Amino acid sequence: MVLALALTVRQRIPYGNKEKVTIVGLCTAPYVMARIGLLDRYRCTLHWENLASFREEMPALLVTNNLFEIDGNRITCSGGTAPIDMMLELIREHFDQDTMMAVAEQFVHERARPSDESQKMAEHVLTSRQSPKLAEAIQIMQNHIDDPLSTNEVAEIADVSLRQLERLFKKYKNTTPQRYYLFLRLQQARRLLLQTSLSVLQVTIATGFSSQSHFTKCYRDLFHHTPGSERKNMKITQKKSHNETV
């Protein structure tokens, strides 16, 4: 599906002019742009849910966690309400601040967020309000999915004691730091299985498991089926959906 869209887009761009044409991609559209080389040497972003799998598939690209990226004539945006912020920034660049503010008022948009503001999930915002140190610890875990840290290392980087870290996870997440970290890694594994063509072994390595058998056991314990059956069910669903649209 992505490849077919990519080929269609490439056919519509005048030959030899891809560097001159301004191309905008919202949400997961950067997948299509990347497939045909439209993001080579450009900064880009996309929806937070697809960031990790996109980075795994496109390791050579400069991918950020920002709301949107305007890099020359390549514009990418995370989706949701971020396109409004992107639009306002483009208006400011091409006109002026007053015009941008006037348009923002028409959209009842209280604040035009800058391009380099990170995407924030509602849960992360809530956790930050509950406990900044807990949010920091979770962010550290998310930054080390493929090379997991020990709980002691997470506590040390977050500048809290191990006992305090355990109390925070118990109070706000009703679990231990170890279990929550494992949950994050398995969530990421599921995204990679569903959103990429990486093999189960590659997903095992990308989420920091030392063996495929251990990964499979942990995955089954959480999702009640194996990584292999997850991938198989996805292909069956995709085939059924394709047949229904033909």
Q: In residues, how long is the chain?
A: 246
3-state secondary structure of 134: helix
Of residues 58, 184, 1, the one with CA closest to residue 45: 58
- The label of the residue with tokens 């483009």 reads 90
DSSP 157-189: HHT--HHHHHHHHHHHHSS-HHHHHHHHHHHHH
pLDDT tens digit sequence for 138-183 = 989 989 999 999 999 999 999 999 999 999 999 989 999 999 999 9
Alpha-carbon dihedral sign for residues 150, 197, 238, 229? negative
Structure token digits, residue 110: 């209280």
* Structural domains of the chain, ranges and CATH numbers in brackets: 2-106 (3.40.50.880), 122-237 (1.10.10.60)
pLDDT category, 122, cuts 50, 70, 90?
low
Q: What is the pLDDT of residue 111?
A: 83
| pTM score above 0.75 | no
